[in-house]
Amino acid sequence: MMLKLAAALLVLVVACHGFLPNVGGYKDRPDLVNDDKVKALTSYAAEYLSRAQNLFLANLRIIKVQTQVVDGLNYKIDFSATPVNGAPGQKTTCQVVVHVRFDASKNIAQSQCQTS
């Protein structure tokens, strides 16, 4: 009896594996690329980059958004921009992780940019 119950449970876990979300991992969110909150978070990240890295950006364009549920929500945002002090035709691409806590406070958890 116990063996049948264990086998049934194993079949259920295997069958549901494809239907469960990636718990703890990032989820692609193309629906948020034009979202006003994400645009505000991207501007917040650009302001942070100007203070922390002396990187001044204009013409922000969001490319990709992913979210992760943690103690709040992590927004991983890929965006491109024009460096204000760069040579004509230069483009900067960045990936930032903005952590937004349940109390709405936020901080930049990670950032990396490349100018070409």
Percent of all residues in the chain with a pLDDT value above 90, rounded to a whole number? 75
pTM summary value: 0.79
Cα 94 from chain centroid (whole Å): 11
pLDDT of residue 4: 52
pLDDT of 18 above 80: no
Report pLDDT digits (tens) over 66-100. 999 999 999 999 999 999 988 888 999 999 999 99
- The more confident residue out of 111 and 12 is 111
pLDDT of residue 62: 98
Question: CB–CB of 38/76 below 8 Å?
Answer: no
**Mean pLDDT confidence for 28-49:** 98
pLDDT of residue 110: 98
- Going along the chain from its start, the domains and CATH numbers come out as 25-115 (3.10.450.10)
pLDDT of residue 12: 45
Q: How confident is the model at residue 7 (pLDDT cuts 50, 70, 90)?
A: very low
Question: CB–CB of 30/77 below 8 Å?
Answer: no
DSSP-derived 3-state class of residue 30? helix
